[in-house]
Amino acid sequence: MVQITFVQPDGSRTTVEAAVGASVMETAVNNGVDGIFAECGGAMMCATCHCYVDDAWAGKAGARNEGEDDMLECAAADLRETSRLSCQLKVSGDLDGLVVHLPSEQV
């Protein structure tokens, strides 16, 4: 299992176990982490699963794909260099210890 830490806008942190192959969005939803709405269920149609990859993990998390870029332009919160749709961010062994920050708003 891989551990992922979600950081709320107020700085509170929740660390959960994630299954390899799941998405970071699924991991958040399945563990009741607040701040990931995922209204489209991972179909890359809503941008309510927006998150910011911690700077220390930006290199390992990989780049956004083209469709993800387009959808992130619709995100409610500021778009940053480290912005990702968490439904497109797949958990792998390399991401054990990943830290993602949640935006202050998703809609």
In the chain, how long is the greatest CA-to-CA distance?
33
Which amino acid, residue 53? V
Sign of the dihedral through C-alpha 102, 22, 82, 85: negative
Count of residues interacting with ligand FES (CB under 6 A): 14
Interface with ligand FES, residue 79, by CB under 6 A = no
Which amino acid would we find at residue 82?
A: T
Q: Kindly state whether residue 56 participates in binding ligand FES, applying the rule CB under 6 A.
A: no
Q: Which residue is nearest to ligand FES (CB)?
A: 87
Stretch that binds ligand FES, among 14-22, 40-48, 51-59, 99-107 (CB under 6 A): 40-48
